[in-house]
């Protein structure tokens, strides 16, 4: 099924299971809101945190299926957050993580992936592409069991 929005087409090839939860960690409230609205359109439950510390607290408390986190944040940055999540026992420690960064350097990309992130997107990001990548990560993690 496709959702047509006044001539704009959102292909709905994704079939998210009910109650799939995404944790969005972004210190810029304006960007977080845009991402949240788009993900909610997909039928996802979206939790928003503005820094790594809050995100970790939410992550431990709630059942989160996917994480999309910014890299540069106050209190605890994206690298630390990824490491802290990966240190948790499975299944929580294996939740797919998408890192978003405004730094485009190759070193940062390698650092992100080496820290345990599953994918990386350089800002500015297309929210449409981000949704697609989250879907791929979700699909892959569930196929792997």
Partner 1 sequence: MAGLILVGAVMQYRQDRRNRYRIARYQAWETRLSDFLFRKGYEHGDFGPVAWADRWLFRDFLARYQSSIAGEESELLRGLYLDIGLHASLPRRLRDRDPRVRAQAAKEIGAFRLDEPSEHVAPLAAERPWRWKPGLRLEGYLDRVLPLLDDPVPYVAHTAALTLTQSRNLRYAAPVVAWVMREELYQRERLLRVLEGFGPGLLPWMKDNLESPDQNPGPWILFALLAGSHRHRESQPRLLWLLDIPNVDLRASVLKALIILADPAIYPRVLAFATSPAWEIRTQVARALGVLGGPSAVPDLMPLMADPVFEVRRNAAQSLVDLGHAGVSALTWLAEDPKADRFARDMARERLEWADERGHL
Q: Among residue numbers 69 through 88, which ones bind partner 1 (CB under 8 A)? A: none
**Interface mask toward partner 1 for 100-129; x: CB under 8 A:** --x--xx----------------xxxxxxx
Instruction: Indicate the residue among 13 and 143 with the shorter CB distance to partner 1.
Output: 13
Instruction: Indicate the residue among 60 and 105 with the shorter CB distance to partner 1.
Output: 105
Is residue 49 helix, strand or coil?
strand
User: Residues 6 or more apart from 78 whose CB is under 8 A from it?
Assistant: 25, 52, 69, 70, 71, 72, 99, 100, 101, 112, 117
Instruction: Indicate the residue among 1 and 144 with the shorter CB distance to partner 1.
Output: 1
- Tell which residue, 142, 121, 129, has the closest CA to residue 66: 142
- Of the ranges 1-9, 48-56, 81-89, 91-99, which one interacts with partner 1 (CB under 8 A)? 1-9
φ, ψ of residue 9 to 5 degrees: the values are -110, 125
Instruction: Indicate the residue among 37 and 63 with the shorter CB distance to partner 1.
Output: 37
Can you tell me which of 34, 72, 110, 114 binds partner 1, judged by CB under 8 A?
34
Counting Cβ atoms within 10 Å, is residue 55 exposed (0-12), middle (13-18) or buried (19+)? buried
| CA separation for the pair 130, 88 (Å, rounded) | 25
User: Which residues here bind partner 1, judged by CB under 8 A?
Assistant: 5-8, 28, 30-31, 33-34, 37-38, 41, 102, 105-106, 123-129
């Amino acid at each position: 099924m496709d959702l047509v929005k006044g001539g704009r087409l959102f292909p709905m090839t994704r079939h998210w299971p009910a109650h799939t939860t995404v944790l969005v960690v972004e210190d810029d409230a304006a960007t977080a809101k845009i991402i949240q609205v788009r993900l909610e359109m997909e039928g996802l439950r979206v939790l928003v945190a503005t820094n790594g510390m809050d995100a970790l607290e939410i992550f431990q408390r709630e059942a989160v299926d996917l994480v999309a986190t910014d890299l540069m944040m106050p209190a605890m940055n994206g690298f630390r957050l990824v490491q802290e999540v990966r240190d948790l026992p499975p299944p929580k420690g294996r939740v797919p993580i998408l890192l978003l960064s405004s730094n485009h350097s190759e070193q940062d990309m390698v650092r992100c992936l080496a820290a345990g992130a599953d994918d990386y997107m350089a800002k500015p990001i297309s929210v449409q592409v981000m949704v697609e990548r989250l879907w791929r990560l979700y699909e892959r993690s569930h196929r792997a069991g």
